[in-house]
């Protein structure tokens, strides 16, 4: 990884932080993002100290908006060109439906549209890789992937989260197909359970099916290491062996696994790609927002 440039979104804590720490310690130049400036500065100090170099930078961004991600892409290319690795790690789950300033469901915007906006950062880089961090929860969504995208008909936090992660896997596979022969690979990875800020914020309202045994759920969650969960992302971002694999879904043991039939459906993948392009195009540009 020495000499390579890496962008890891949502990396001021949790799985993203440990991914950044591992890659920076390998000698990579690492850019991490987050919403909170104070937490970003604190993470930056720790990363530089543990990596023993100062080629680590923090960029503040609101990943829930299309404009925020567009602006981030511009800032990244001002700092590093080309970018060698993009780890779309940032994610969110909400107990109650929220809308972004673009008018999209916040879970959909953060987990699906935000990563899609950043994808062009690597289209002209080779060799390079995109690592989209998803979740095994994606398999909980068994309905039509295009059903209730706005989550207005029925909102349950874990269902919206599962839906958005399925969409993320679908566009990852569509991207990999478009990148064939380019030297750029794209894969999706489930890091597994981890005790992170996102996990801490979950409530029985977020996952109603767990309500009756919530204390046990919390006990299991608290024992799940974010550092261990980061290993699969680190592997895909740094391994020479992984650099030849594209369009795959990896589990937390860094082993590929066949995803659900919904995720493998090429028709779904192509429709999701077109949908993402359409939703991103509808969002106002920076000039229009002024």
Q: Does residue 283 or residue 189 have the better pLDDT?
A: 189
Is 221 within the bounds of a domain?
no
Is 200 within the bounds of a domain?
no
Is 222 within the bounds of a domain?
no
Is 199 within the bounds of a domain?
no
Q: Dump pLDDT digits (tens) for 145-198.
A: 999 999 999 999 999 999 999 999 999 999 999 999 999 999 999 999 999 999
Is 216 within the bounds of a domain?
no
Q: What span, in angstroms and rounded, lies between the C-alpha atoms of 43 and 223?
A: 22
Q: What average pLDDT score do residues 88-111 get?
A: 95
Place of tokens 């090429």: 266
Q: What is the CATH number of the domain that holds 17?
A: 3.40.50.720
Tokens representing 282 are 């509808």
Mean per-residue pLDDT over the chain, rounded: 94
Q: What is the reported pLDDT for 146?
A: 95
Q: What span, in angstroms and rounded, lies between the C-alpha atoms of 287 and 20?
A: 33
Is 211 within the bounds of a domain?
no
- Count of domains in the chain? 1
What stretch of H or E contains 31?
A: strand 29-34
What stretch of H or E contains 115?
A: helix 114-118
Contact in structure between 76 and 23 (CB atoms under 8 Å)? no
Residues marked as catalytic = 161
Contact in structure between 210 and 157 (CB atoms under 8 Å)? no
Is 93 within the bounds of a domain?
yes
- Burial per residue of 150-175, b for 16 or more beta-carbon CB atoms within 10 angstroms, e otherwise: ebeeebbbbbbbbbbbbbbbbbbbbb
Contact in structure between 223 and 285 (CB atoms under 8 Å)? no
Is 79 within the bounds of a domain?
yes
User: What are residue 57's DSSP bridge partners?
Assistant: 31
Q: What is the reported pLDDT for 264?
A: 97
Q: What is the reported pLDDT for 286?
A: 55
Domain that holds residue 22: 5-193+229-289
Q: What is the reported pLDDT for 288?
A: 54
Q: Is the predicted pLDDT of residue 282 greater than 90, yes or no? A: no
Contact in structure between 55 and 2 (CB atoms under 8 Å)? no
Q: Dump pLDDT digits (tens) for 132-154.
A: 999 999 999 999 999 999 999 99
Q: Is the predicted pLDDT of residue 287 greater than 70, yes or no? A: no
| pTM exceeding 0.85 | yes
């Amino acid at each position: 990884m020495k000499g390579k440039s890496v962008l890891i979104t949502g990396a001021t804590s949790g799985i993203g932080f440990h991914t950044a720490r591992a890659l920076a310690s390998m000698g990579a130049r690492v850019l991490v993002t987050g919403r909170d400036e104070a937490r970003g500065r604190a993470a930056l100090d720790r990363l530089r100290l543990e990596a023993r170099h100062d080629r680590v930078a923090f960029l503040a961004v609101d990943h829930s908006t299309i404009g925020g991600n567009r602006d981030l892409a511009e800032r990244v290319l001002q700092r590093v060109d080309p970018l060698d690795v993009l780890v779309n790690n940032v994610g969110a789950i909400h107990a109650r439906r929220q809308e972004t300033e673009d008018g999209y469901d916040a879970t959909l915007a953060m987990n699906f549209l935000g990563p899609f906006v950043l994808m062009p950062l690597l289209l002209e880089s080779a060799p390079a890789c995109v690592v989209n961090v998803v979740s095994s929860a994606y398999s909980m969504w068994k309905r039509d992937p295009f059903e209730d995208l706005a989550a207005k008909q029925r909102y349950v936090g874990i269902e919206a989260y599962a839906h958005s992660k399925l969409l993320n896997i679908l566009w990852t596979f569509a991207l990999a197909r478009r990148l064939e022969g380019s030297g750029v690979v794209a894969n999706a990875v489930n890091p597994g359970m981890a005790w992170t800020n996102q996990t801490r914020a979950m409530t029985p309202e977020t996952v109603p099916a767990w309500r009756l045994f919530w204390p046990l759920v919390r006990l299991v969650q608290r024992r799940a290491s974010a550092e261990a969960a980061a290993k699969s992302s680190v592997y895909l971002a740094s391994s020479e062996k992984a650099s030849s694999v594209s369009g795959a879904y990896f589990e937390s043991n860094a082993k590929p696994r066949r995803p659900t039939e919904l995720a493998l459906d090429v028709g779904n993948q192509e429709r999701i790609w077109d949908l993402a392009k359409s939703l991103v195009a509808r969002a106002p540009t920076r000039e229009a927002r002024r």
